[in-house]
């Protein structure tokens, strides 16, 4: 399965979603629960992003490899976008499954349900 991250209109191929990657990503997503200093949190998140996308790609994404020059929001967004990229196949599957269920409902039943709702609404309107 392939995973693609899009940042600043550029796409980056992500490595296979394995336990090691998920442990790193989980660490980055839970970073606010730690007692680390702000600098330590962003250093750790940047390192994790760099480990996942590669050093050159991280430098290209952020415009620098110097943490003091990188917008911290860009680092936090990169972590979230990486997580979203890894979750995309499951989300797409669930959406397709839901769409299939919706499409399997006969249109006559939907129309009948709509009429029933209108009838109930009009009855409730009369009784008030």
Q: pLDDT, tens digit, for every residue of 14-32?
A: 999 999 999 999 999 999 9
Given the structure tokens 């394995």, which residue do they identify? 18
Quote the CA–CA distance of 3 and 123 in Å, as a whole number. Answer: 53
The string of pLDDT tens digits covering residues 32-69 is 999 999 999 999 999 999 999 999 999 999 999 999 99
CA atoms within 13 A on the CB side of 86: 19
Q: Structural domain tally of the chain? A: 1
Report yes or no on whether pTM surpasses 0.95.
no
User: Domain range holding 89?
Assistant: 3-127
């Amino acid at each position: 399965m392939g995973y693609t991250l899009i940042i600043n209109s550029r796409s980056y191929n992500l490595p296979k979603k394995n336990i090691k990657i998920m442990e790193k990503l989980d660490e980055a997503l839970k970073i606010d629960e730690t007692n680390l200093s702000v600098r330590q949190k962003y250093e750790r998140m940047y390192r994790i992003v760099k480990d996942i996308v590669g050093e050159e790609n991280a430098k290209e994404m952020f415009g620098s490899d110097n943490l003091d020059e990188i917008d911290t929001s860009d680092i936090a967004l990169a972590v979230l976008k990486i997580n979203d990229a890894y979750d995309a196949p499951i989300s797409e599957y669930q959406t397709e499954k839901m769409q299939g269920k919706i499409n399997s409902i006969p249109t006559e039943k939907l129309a009948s349900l709509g009429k029933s709702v209108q009838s109930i609404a009009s009855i409730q309107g009369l009784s008030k």
